[in-house]
Structure 1
Amino acid sequence: MSPQQDDTLPIRSRGVEDEMQSIPTKHPPTTRDAPERDASSASTTKPGGLGKDFSTVNFPSGDGGRPTRCAVMTGHGRAAVAVIDLRGPEATSCLNSLFRPARQRPYRPGQVRYGVWTGNGGDQAGESVVIVPIAGDHFEIHCHGGDAATDRIIADLASLGVQGAPAGPDSNWVGNDRWSQQASELLIRCVTDRTAAIAMDQVRGALSDWRKEMLQLLRSSPANATMVAEHSARIAAAGRIGQRLDRPWSVVLAGPPNVGKSSLINAIVGYDRSIIMDLPGTTRDVLDADTVVQGWPLRLRDTAGLHDAAESIERQGIERAVLAAGEADLIVIVTAPGNETLSQQASQALASLLDRVPILTVFNKADLANPSADVALRTVATSGQGVDELIDAILGRLLADLPPPGDPVPVSEDQTAWVTEVAALGDDPDAMMDRLSQPATR
């Protein structure tokens, strides 16, 4: 977008710009189209910040002693996008002095303003930035990632008397706690706008705000402990998703030989990643294909056909397939006409995984014959028939615990463990109060 174009855009993904897609990854993903999220789903009420400490500088205050303050919300180091939080009575006047929008229009929450950060020197070239109005005198400044860009903006704001938010869990600046710091570090590793949006909500203090709300509920009545425990259990379950925001989900396609596992992967990613032939044993190693589906990174793993192999090389491929299945987030068992059952050895190996890895079954080559058993998912990989339904089923299994936008999501093991401990204390309001008062700090 150029400054001559319309700068009025709806917020997408709760303030995280699409430039997040440009973060380099070890396995460059392909992308299937994801639905847009409109401004109504933007979480604009959860501020936060990870600021550089300017507390030793004698800054003037705004009206009534309330200072105008800023803080870098994203982690340090190289990244596609950095976010600076700016709030206070002089925030709008500071932006008017340092930012030149493509069009002069009033700031309205739910819209963004594209333009150039000219700074105090009135630099006509300047830095291209996006201003996100959050509410009233509260804004986010989205700029290029890296310390150079953020340092310049912070310095320009400081020259106008804006106070940098001091870091630390005792700060009154919402989001300046360890939880928000963990989310900030995670944010710069997210590779899609959808995963980055969840991380950004946590940077803004979603989990910290929830903890305070639950404490208030318990203080109002110990009988609310049961409700707090139920909330905590749902949030703890979402930790499975929160801890995977910077890594693709591992989906292993397994099944008998020559059922079209490789063809299904090719159909999902949209290009020929796997070798396909009408011969059993064509795939003898685990082949990975990284893709992004509806905003979610997936690593699809093509494995050797599971059968009683005679050749040593084939047996090694099958062993690798079973090992990959044991490390997966989801196993998709693919069958086809004439190959609807697994060998006894393969069935036993997969049965041992049932208690820790979910399994989805799909009947491929459904144009050739009907399955002997009732199978809900039927596909024809070569024509694409049923592939979208398979994708929806995969995401449905992986994201069963996905909360609504803006909700708290644990993004680390210690956060998930802490919320799980709170959930287990529904019968002991006093112990629950103590645990809520002592957030995870490991």
Structure 2
Amino acid sequence: MGKYFGTDGFRGEANIQLTVDHAFKVGRYVGWYYGREHKAKIVIGKDTRRSSYMFEYALVAGLTASGADAYLLHVTTTPSVSYAVRTEDFDCGIMISASHNPFYDNGIKLLNGNGQKIEAEVEARIEAYLDGKIEDLPYATREDIGRTVDFASGRNRYIGYLISIPCRDFKNIKVGLDCSNGSSSAIAKSVFDALRAKTYVINNEPDGTNINRGCGSTHIEVLQKYVVENGLDVGFAYDGDADRCIAVDHKGNIIDGDKILYVCGKFLKSQGKLNGNTVVTTVMSNMGLYKAFESEDINYEQTAVGDKYVAENMLENNYSIGGEQSGHIIFSRYAATGDGILTSLMIMEACVEQKATLCDLAKEMKVYPQILRNVRVADKKTARENPKVVEAVEAAARALSTEGRILVRESGTEPLIRVMVEAGTEEICAEHVNNVVRVMEEEGLVVE
């Protein structure tokens, strides 16, 4: 990770860690970088945060000042920006969003011409420019100054694309959608309505400050209750920029990213569409997923945490599906990045084609108890490499042996150390998690 760019772009509290000046300079550099040999075309989307408009205008000012043309999708999802980039001949895409973070945070996510997260080398160049290590860039003048283009039609084309993907419609299926008061509020219902589902929607009235607040994929209990109380067949919850999806079956059971990988991976194999007979996961996936894959004779690979690394592995090996427990799922036949709405469509197709409920399709995967604690620290690297913390982690790993595992890692987007233990019982998980956190506290590494 760089100084500013983490695993999911440049993210922080608006006008504290991520300022308007940062956004302007990112626009300046991106407009210049992609416009060295031709007039650059950059497409921009944003989520529903109040600060997203501020950052949009700052980015546009920087881009056009460097001579690039900026195409505005307005409020839309991250995957729609990815789709626009790779199908509409744009040089680069920019999404303004902090995903599942609170409304006062925001972020700038850059996508390359293939619709994937931009190369680390380009991020490093932008960081050097932000720190004044690259001499100032020339301003465009006269007819070379860039222009701004309303590109709402690009979002409509993306909606049409999603509608075209399922082989069957969802007539009379009662579907609940939790739009997290975020980007999917402008898209998801239209897609399911067009596919003839009976669509029930909650948290789709964004006001600039209610994105992710007590709703969406990070507060799945809201959708669980809604699905059960209204007798719905299935429910899908998205995060702020709709690049992830967590599902709920008709009984209110949570179907997280691991179970989605199992359901969809098994379905793709039955259809002869699981390239390499392999599903790509991250190191955070549950042990139960791997045992379920082994019983179905499906291979799997593990990457570092981050859908960026999943996407890289899939691209390199031409795999069909991969993702994270958090609900970032990539279907390479249809998209270059995680897409929450697409994921819900693929789950629906698996259910409709097999004439089964999501509950039935997911029940064969038995989940190992897992406890994850997010520990706020002053410095992630110092906390992670503290000798006594390392010793405590190694002791837990020895005790768990082959009957569990411990994973301690730095968050890519927040000042957190994530301590995760998986074992046969919750009591064993809690014991080892608490031991490691206690050592962090004793070493003075934890902040309130």
TM bracket (short chain): under 0.3
Greater helix content: 2
Whose relative contact order is higher, 1 or 2, with alpha carbons under 8 Å and at least 6 apart? 1
Structure index of larger Rg: 1
